[in-house]
Structure 1
Amino acid sequence: MKPVTVDVVLPCLNEAEALPWVLARIPAGWRAVVVDNGSDDGSAALARDLGATVVRESRRGFGAACHAGLLAAEADIVCFCDCDASLDPGLLAEFATTVADGGADLVLGRRRPRGRGAWPAHARAGNLALAHMLRRRTGLRLHDLGPMRAARREALLALELTDRRSGYPLQMVVRAADAGWRVREVDVPYLPRAGKSKVTGTWRGTWQAVRDMSRVLAEPPVGRAAPMSGRRP
C-alpha cells in the first residue's frame, strides 16, 4: 500500500521566538506548512531557513491562515497546530495514525494546562461556554475547541468551510458533525505560549473569538460531506 503522507498547517503571525521549538518537533517525513499572516518579525524567512514550506496569506484572520494552509496542502492527511509553542506538534503522530487507520474521521486535542499562565481564566471561560454550546448543537461529547487536530485533506475540502476568523475551527467541527463524521478527542498538554497571544490574550480578543464562534453555531446545517476515511468495506 502507498504510504500515507501528512502535512502540518501552522498559522503564523509574528512567531519567530517559537518557530525553532515548533519546527524541531514536526515528525520526521512530514511537511510543515507555515502560513505567514502578515508577520513583521522575520517569521517567514526563519521558517523557510528551518526547512518549512511558507505560504503567505495577506487577509488577516486565524481562519484565513488555516484555510490557506489547507489549500496549499498536498498530503493525504492534514494536521493543524498553533505555532506559538503552546502545543507540541510531535503529538500529532498519534492523531494522524488514528485517522489513517480509520479509528476516527477527525481527531481533536483537548488542552490540559501545564504550568503557570498556560491558559488565562478569561480564555478558559470562553472556551468552556462555547464547548457547552457545541455539545448542544452537535451532540458530540467534546470539552474543548482546541487548535490541534487531524483529518483527511479531501474530506476537509469537501466541508467547504467559509469562516475566515476565529470561528474556523468551530465551523470545522460543526460541519463534520452534520456530515456524520466520527470525532475523537485526545488529551494534550497545553504549555505557556511564547510571546503574546493575538486572539485570547485579552478579554477583548476572547470576546471577539466568542462572537465569531457564536455566529458559526447559529448557521443552519449544510449538505453532508463524506468523511472519506479510507476504511475498507
Structure 2
Amino acid sequence: MSKPEAHRPVAVDVVFPCLNEALSLPWLLGRLPDGYRAIVADNGSTDGSADLARELGATVLAVPVRGYGAAAHAGLEASTADVVCFCDADGSLDPAELPRVADPVARDEADLVIGRRRPTARRAWPAHARWANAVLSARLRRRTGLRLHDLGPMRAGRRAALRGLDLADRRFGYPLETVVAAAGAGLRVAEVDVAYAPRTAGSTSKVTGTLGGTVRTVVDMGRVLTR
C-alpha cells in the first residue's frame, strides 16, 4: 500500500466502515493514493479483517456498537487530517478515485462532496437499490434544495465541519443525516461522478445489495427525513 512519507502530515484520512471484508481489503488498501491514510473502522468482523488491515498498514479501530453510522462516525472522530473521506470496504468503489471527492474540499470549493455512483455493470446496483436511492434523493432535494442525485457512500468533507454537525444516527441513516445536517448548517455540498462496480466476489452486502438491507436503509433514512 502506498504510504505518506513520515516527515509530512497525512493529507487525507479515509474511513472504511468494515464488517467481514477480508476479501476486499488487499485490493482496497493497495489502491489508496499517496498521502491518503486508511482508517478501518471494524464493526465486529469474524473473518480476520482487523488483523489483515493492520498488516497492510491501516489504522484499525474496534467499533463494538453495530451499525454503519457507528463505524463511520468512530472513524470521523479518530481522524486527524483536515479532509476526511468515507468509502465502502466491499470493493464496489475504487479508492484510486478518492481525489475526485477530496480535491474540491482541499481546494476550498466545497465542504462536503458526494460521489454520484455510475455503475460499470448492471449487477453492480440492483434495481430495488436504485429505486430506493432515487426516491430518497428526490425527498432530499425537496427538503434541502440541494441538486443531488445520489446518497453515495464515497464522499469527502472538511473534518472540522463534519464534526460540528452533531450527527446522532448510528445506523443506515447516517449518510443521509450528514447531508441534511450539512445543508441546514449552510455548508457547501457538491456532487461528482464515481465508478460503481460489483462488490468483491464472495463479499456479503450489508446495506442495499439485498432487499432486506434496502428496506432497513429506507426505514432508517425515512426517519431522518421526518425529524
**TM-score bracket for this pair, using the shorter chain length:** over 0.9
Using the TM superposition, name which of 160-169 and 2-11 deviates more.
2-11
Q: Distance in 2 between matches of 1:116 and 1:125?
A: 14
Query: Aligned letter for 1:15?
Result: E
* Change in CA separation of 1:105 and 1:4 when aligned onto 2, cut-off 3 Å: farther
Superposition TM-score, scaled by structure 2 size: 0.93
- Aligned sequence identity (%): 65
In the alignment, what sits opposite 2:163? 157
Query: Aligned letter for 1:115?
Result: A
- 5 Å-filtered alignment, 1:65-144, equals 65-144=71-150
Query: Aligned letter for 1:217?
Result: L
In the alignment, what sits opposite 2:208? 200
In the alignment, what sits opposite 2:218? 210
- Give the C-alpha shift of residue 3 in structure 1: 7.0
Query: Aligned letter for 1:190?
Result: Y
Contact 2:132/2:214 (8 A) holds in 1:
yes
Superposition TM-score, scaled by structure 1 size: 0.91
What SS does the corresponding residue of 1:8 show, helix, strand or coil? strand
- Give the C-alpha shift of residue 4 in structure 1: 7.2
- Give the C-alpha shift of residue 200 in structure 1: 1.6
2:31 is the alignment partner of 1:29: no
Contact 1:14/1:43 (8 A) holds in 2:
yes
Contact 1:4/1:100 (8 A) holds in 2:
no
Correspondence for 1:56 among 40, 58, 62: 62
Equivalent pairs counted in the alignment come to 218
Q: Distance in 2 between matches of 1:86 and 1:33?
A: 18
- Give the C-alpha shift of residue 218 in structure 1: 1.1
Query: Aligned letter for 1:96?
Result: A
Q: Distance in 1 between matches of 2:100 and 2:119?
A: 19
* Change in CA separation of 1:102 and 1:4 when aligned onto 2, cut-off 3 Å: farther
2:178 is the alignment partner of 1:172: yes
Query: Aligned letter for 1:112?
Result: R
Superposed CA RMSD in Å reads 1.2
Contact 2:20/2:48 (8 A) holds in 1:
yes
Query: Aligned letter for 2:197?
Result: L
Contact 2:12/2:84 (8 A) holds in 1:
yes
In the alignment, what sits opposite 2:47? 41
Q: Distance in 2 between matches of 1:38 and 1:22?
A: 19
Q: Distance in 2 between matches of 1:82 and 1:4?
A: 20
Q: Distance in 1 between matches of 2:9 and 2:194?
A: 26
Q: Distance in 1 between matches of 2:72 and 2:9?
A: 25
Q: Distance in 2 between matches of 1:104 and 1:191?
A: 26
- Give the C-alpha shift of residue 138 in structure 1: 0.4
What SS does the corresponding residue of 1:117 show, helix, strand or coil? helix
What SS does the corresponding residue of 1:103 show, helix, strand or coil? coil
Query: Aligned letter for 1:214?
Result: G
Contact 2:10/2:36 (8 A) holds in 1:
no
In the alignment, what sits opposite 1:231? none
Q: Distance in 2 between matches of 1:164 and 1:106?
A: 19
